[in-house]
A and B are shown apart, each in its own frame.
Chain A
Amino acid sequence: MSYFLQLVVSGIVVGSIYALSALGFVLIYKSSRVLNIAHGQLIATGAFITYALAVWAGIHIALAFFLSLIITFFIAMSVERVFLRRLIGEPIISVIMVTIGLMSILDGLIYLTPFGTLNFSFPEFLPTTPIRLGGVSISWTQLVGVIITTILIGGFSWFFRKSTLGISMRAVSDDQLASMSIGISIPRVFGLAWAAAGFSAAAAGTIIGNITGLNFETLQAFGITVFPVVILGGLDSIIGAVVAGIIMGLIQQFAAGYLDGHWGLHGTASLLPYIILLVILLFKPHGLFGIHEIERV
């Protein structure tokens, strides 16, 4: 039983990180209908900036984290400004392919830094002894990670519900023409969506980096695991991203805990999300919470 509970706890930890990564992805998709293939690279960039600030520049880690959020915010905003702004109105296929190119560019830039090939780990700034509750243990980094994730997701949902900017972003995602007519600047909203995505990606990256260590391949893989999560949750639903993220984390942990080693199976945790993705695409393509667009000719 405690084995099961342990899996549940670590599933929730991983899942909340998925939720945070998926959040940024959904933000971009919701406002501008762009599939951001380069999201994993944004996550990695955020994590590396935090590390560079905290270790190489010697800033306190909390401040470094905060600064990294801001820097990635502006990086993502300028990416939108430079590459995607001029593609507004182009067919969606070329916009997606621009993000594929972007992924390649960011890959190349990261490989040019030491982060591309070497492994780093954040300095320990929390107690290393895990917290034990009955048979279940959770490390401090994981706990802090979950807390920060919860705060950020809460903050984002407040932002979308109450603030004027958030409401205007929702309006744009609902109907671009109507929101233009009431004076919302669409390019500005797109830029903000990317910036917010960069913000959440940096947070996710730093939290992952704290838990698993900084490895480019791992961080980048989170950007691709985001796809099963957002498809499960529905591409344009923020609640969906959160719920599906946690479900996906649980599924992965259960797969690793119960399937691996039996019947000659290994590494099922990295496979199962994609199989789920294909099954959902076949049978319930709009996911758990996505809006089913009805086409009328």
Chain B
Amino acid sequence: MIMAVNRWLATGNYFTTYKQEQRIFQTNLDRTVFIAFLMVVFTWPLFFDVSSKYMLVVDNILIAIIAVIGLNLLTGFAGLISIGHAAFVGVGAYTLASFSRVLGDSHVLITHAWPLMLLISGGVGAVIGAFVGLPALRLKHLYLAIATLSFQMIFLWIINFSTFFNQGQTIFIGRAYWLTGQVARDDHYLFWYYVMLVIVVMCGFGVRNLIRTRYGRCLVAVRDNDRAADAMGMHPGLTKVYAFALAGFFAGVAGALHAYLFRGVGFESFTLGHSITYLAMAIVGGLGTLVGSFFGPTAIYMLDLKVENVAEYAGTIFSETMNLATGLRPLTFGLIIVLFLMFEPRGIANWWRISRSYFKLWPFRF
């Protein structure tokens, strides 16, 4: 018997078809809450006067979210560890930088056609990602982790030793234009906040949709058992290369946004340490979940602010030469990675799941 279900107050699992189960929003309540949340996110800068220091942090979080969505596709859904994600982000940023080097930093293409630039950077990221992922045609994840690590080293070498990329020194990017003319200095962070927000929402829906298509299910199947996936007619190698290309695309877009936001590109934002930070974000957020890609960067950046405060405070006590901030940051990130892996391998997304189901099933416990 099919019960009549009120799509506003549904508490249990009433799915009768697979199609129902795969809906993006399971109930009307979900959708309403989501729309309300989006409205809050889009309108809050109008009501609060945020200092550009904190707006910059928010923008950084959004960039990291885009990059981590890509990393999560690769590491969480496809099960391939990437220790070179910052290099993929760097590929995007340096694609933009090469345009700036060839055409000049305020060429129309860079300042006016920035959406096109973002897409091109993403595309280049995807191509390079697929290239680095090529060993996946023959190899398992252990070796791929090493391939990405070596890509990180090669990338840094190319940036640091070629004069075209200014040997890693800053390459400037011009101010972007919007319909109303050049974006003013005061509005810079706010403008990019809105741009990134739109991109993040698009990425979120894109990935959510991808995961419920044939290709998305392929990724998960190959992660769980590649031999079984092979037997069912999928091509594990190509699927992995495809995952690398996707991750490269998201990273490329994030890199171009990073370049626009800071109005310059330098090698120091794309080091091995940053790659590990991205990985930490993905793990803390929850590997293999979409919401995790949002929680992870937010949590890590919040933590980073706290660590900075602690380091500043401790710096007043120990007036020694030792640099507390450079030490405390990797220490906390490392501890966070290890502790989450040992005690909550499913990340913050799991807490989110638990609290959601608590409210959904209330007043029943189970």
Contact = CB atoms under 8 A, between A and B. Distances in A.
B6 interface: no
B335 A274 contact: no
Given A35-B146, A37-B83, A105 B338 contact: yes
Contact of A97 (B138, B333, B341): B341
A111 B83 CA distance: 21
B283 interface: yes
Q: Is the interface of A mostly helix, strand, loop or mixed?
A: helix
Given A117-B321, A285-B135, A295-B227, A101 B341 contact: yes
Nearest to A83: B338
B266 to A, nearest CB: 18
Interface stretch (A3-11, A238-246, A264-272): A264-272
Interface stretch (B20-28, B112-120, B149-157, B188-196): B149-157
A285 B142 CA distance: 11
A277 B329 contact: no
Interface in B196-245: 227, 231
B97 to A, nearest CB: 20
Contact of A93 (B141, B143, B321, B329): B141
Contacts of B139: 281, 285
A36 to B, nearest CB: 12
- What interface size band does chain B fall in? 35 or more
A54 interface: no
A270 B153 CA distance: 9
B161 interface: yes
A94 B143 contact: no
Contacts of A114: 321-322
Nearest to B283: A97
A109 B331 contact: yes
Contacts of A118: 321
A271 to B, nearest CB: 5
Given A111-B327, A113-B322, A295-B227, A83 B342 contact: yes
Contact of B145 (A35, A110, A116, A282): A35
Interface in B303-339: 321-324, 326-338
Nearest to A267: B161
B79 interface: yes
A282 B134 contact: yes
Interface in B166-203: none
A80 interface: no
Interface string A73-117: 000000000010011001011101110111111111111111011
B81 interface: yes
B345 interface: yes
A113 B323 CA distance: 9
B276 interface: yes
A86 B139 CA distance: 27
A25 B330 CA distance: 22
Contacts of A151: none
B259 interface: no
A118 B320 CA distance: 13
Contacts of A83: 338, 342
B281 to A, nearest CB: 12
A191 interface: no
Given A285-B135, A285-B143, A98 B341 contact: yes
Those 5 A-B pairs whose CB atoms lie nearest each other, nearest first: A108-B331, A104-B334, A101-B337, A111-B327, A105-B334
6 contacts: A93-B79, A101-B341, A108-B334, A274-B151, A278-B135, A281-B135
Interface of A: 33, 35, 37, 83, 86-87, 90, 92-94, 96-98, 100-114, 116-118, 224, 227-228, 231, 235, 266-267, 270-271, 274-275, 277-278, 281-282, 285, 295, 297
Interface of B: 75, 79, 81, 83, 134-135, 138-139, 141-143, 145-147, 149-151, 153-154, 157, 160-161, 227, 231, 272, 276, 279-280, 283, 321-324, 326-338, 341-342, 345
